[in-house]
Structure 1
Amino acid sequence: MDPEALPRQDAEPSMMDPRVMDPDQEIVRLAGLDDADIDQVVRVLEALRRWRETERRMSEASRRYMKLGDTDMRALRFLIAMQNHGRVVTPGAIAEHLGITTASTTKLIDRLAAGTTCGAPRTPPTGAASRSRSPRRRGTPRARPSGAATPDGSTPRPA
């Protein structure tokens, strides 16, 4: 690929551009793609990078504001996401999502519930779950950071 064909000649080359990072196409084959196609791919990759960076800053700000550890914050975000989709979350699902043991998950749930971060009401178990010692938990609106996810770390105003 011709180095002169790089997009945005006046700007610094994007680290997401395979023409910059893999000019010999050892990792990414560009056959069948013209420069306009690659430019579009780079724009999407740059947008995803910005999205992820913003998400990381917001999560960090929320974690600091709520005084939670990284794993607790990841669990809380998982609970909120599943609640938004109307799904009931089991301790096993939390353990799988976080890659931790169910014993660690039990401690995590107890920590979140004790800290009133997550009102984790017990729902009556049904079917196979009734034979399990682990009750299902449902995230509640109290679990939401409610504006605490301000990237600049400012204190949110009450709603």
Structure 2
Amino acid sequence: MAAKDLSTMYGLSESDPEQKLINRAGMSASDLEQIDRIMAEMGRMRQIERRIMRSSQEFMKLNETDMRALRKIISAKHAGRSVTPGELSQYLGISSASVTKMIDRLEAHGHVLRTKHPTDRRSQCVEVTEETHLAARDQVGRHHAKRFEAASRLSSEERDVVIKFLAGTSDAMESSLGSPLDDDAR
């Protein structure tokens, strides 16, 4: 793959010119150039992911929390599970009242249905409508399929290196926050 001109605010010269955060001792110019390229590609991927998310939100006329809720409901459906409003509240980190308003809004726009819980008659479940499920697959699923295609073109050894890098990066970034990530990011 030919090198692209990928400027980034995360490059070493832009983010740490005085080497106060990152010790570069013993690293060759070639190593530093490769690391800058990795940072630039990660930045480019984040920008593309934000464009995809905005496009999907605009197409489906939903906000980010609505999209996260639908992903949770769709994932549960694929796993043969139901989702309750309480589970959505915990997953999204929002109050029960906010979840109720969100479900009301999503139901009014034809995105979800409330159904009886299969084992607890006092509880309700939330299910995605077939139309919204198909729209989400077309909008978000096709982008996810492209990620899969890129990963499938790598050898097993190359995938191990990518896994090690991404897991190590996630662990390092998470440790800088001091608290674990929610399930949505995993």
| TM-score of the superposed pair, with normalisation by structure 2 | 0.55
- Residue by residue over 1:20-50, the C-alpha shift from the partner in whole angstroms, topping out at 9 and shown as x without a partner, is 3102222233345433333333333323322
Of residues 69, 85, 93, the one that matches 1:91 is 85
Name the amino acid aligned to 1:147: D
Q: Against the structure 1 CA distance between its residues 51 and 140, is the aligned structure 2 distance closer, same or farther, given a 3 Å change threshold?
A: farther
Cα displacement string for residues 59-105 of structure 1 (whole angstroms, at most 9, x for unaligned residues):
22222222223432332234334545655433333223333112211
**Correspondence for 1:18:** 12
Q: CA deviation at 1:118?
A: 2.4
Match of residue 147 from structure 1: 138
Change (3 A) 1:41 1:142: farther
| Structure 1: distance between partners of 2:24 and 2:123 | 51
Pick one of 39, 45, 66 that aligns with 1:45. Answer: 39
Give the root-mean-square deviation of aligned CA atoms.
3.3
Aligned to 1:147, the other structure's residue is in SS state helix
Indicate if the aligned counterparts of 2:110 and 2:129 stay in contact, CA closer than 8 A: no
SS of the aligned residue for 1:29 comes to coil
What corresponds to 1:4 in structure 2?
none
Distance 1:82 1:52, change over 3 A: farther
Structure 2 unaligned segments of length 5 or more: list them.
141-186
2:105 — aligned with what? 111
CA distance in 2, matches of 1:65, 1:39: 39
Match of 2:67?
73
Does 1 or 2 have the higher relative contact order (CA < 8 Å, sep 6+)? 1
Aligned counterpart, 2:126: 137
Contact residue 73 and residue 83 of structure 2 kept, 8 A: yes
d(CA) in 2 for partners of 1:44, 1:86: 38
Q: How does 1:120-131 map to 2 (within 5 A)?
A: 120-125=114-119, 130=120
Match of 2:56 among 41, 62, 82: 62
Q: What CA distance in whole angstroms lies between the structure 2 residues aligned with 1:26 and 1:120?
A: 54
Distance 1:35 1:83, change over 3 A: farther
The question of whether the paired residues in 2 share the 8 Å contact of 1:89 and 1:138 is answered with yes
Quick one: distance in 2 between partners of 1:21 and 1:27?
Answer: 9
